Amino acid sequence: MAAQPEDHPAVAVFDYVGRIDNFFRATVGRHLPPGVSFAQFQVLRLLERRGEGQTPAEIARAIDAPKSALTNTLQRLEQGGLIWSEASGEDARKKRVWLTPEGRDLYLATVAATRPKMDSLRGAFTLDEFREALPFLKALTAWFEED
């Protein structure tokens, strides 16, 4: 009997990656305050982990979001008092984005709330298992980024 498309390893990989992404988003989403979306959390996480003062274009690239969608996300974050932005010193046509103390607090509180689940995950798999998965996942990501 010929293998069915859903049995193909490439299909299975993307199915699992999608499911893992859904589980992660749901875990984080359960700990976000009402009115804060996962997309907004991604921006807060990026600014906290990679540094503030990034342009919207840099943020959009980093989280793989269309610039138009990111503009809406940034507006909502700014209206909520979680980020602030100002014209770039080197090019006034560009904006730079920073976390407010409230934005940083919200990010850190969300991370703290998800810590038990993440600690459980780290206990279920070894560091070597995570390391062994990385080369394939990085290569797969790089392949898609080429397009």
5 pLDDT tier (thresholds 50, 70, 90): low
- Is 86 in a helix, a strand, or coil? strand
6 pLDDT tier (thresholds 50, 70, 90): low
E-assigned strands of the chain?
83-87, 95-99
Decide yes or no: CATH 1.10.10.10 for domain 34-115: yes
Domain ranges in the chain?
34-115
Cα R_g (the chain), whole angstroms: 18
Whether residue 142 is predicted with pLDDT greater than 60 in this model: the reply is yes
Nearest Cα neighbor of 43 from 92, 85, 87 is 85
- Please give the model's pTM, rounded to 2 decimal places: 0.84
Whether residue 1 is predicted with pLDDT greater than 90 in this model: the reply is no
Tokens describing residue 21:
């992404």
Determine the number of helices (DSSP H) and then strands (DSSP E) in the chain.
6, 2
The phi and psi torsions of 69 (rounded to 5 degrees) equal -70, -40
Q: Compute the mean pLDDT over every residue in the chain, rounded to the nearest whole number.
A: 92
pLDDT (tens digit, 9 = 90+) per residue, 25-42?
999 999 999 999 999 999
Cβ(28)–Cβ(36) under 8 Å? no
Cα separation of the two ends of the chain: 35
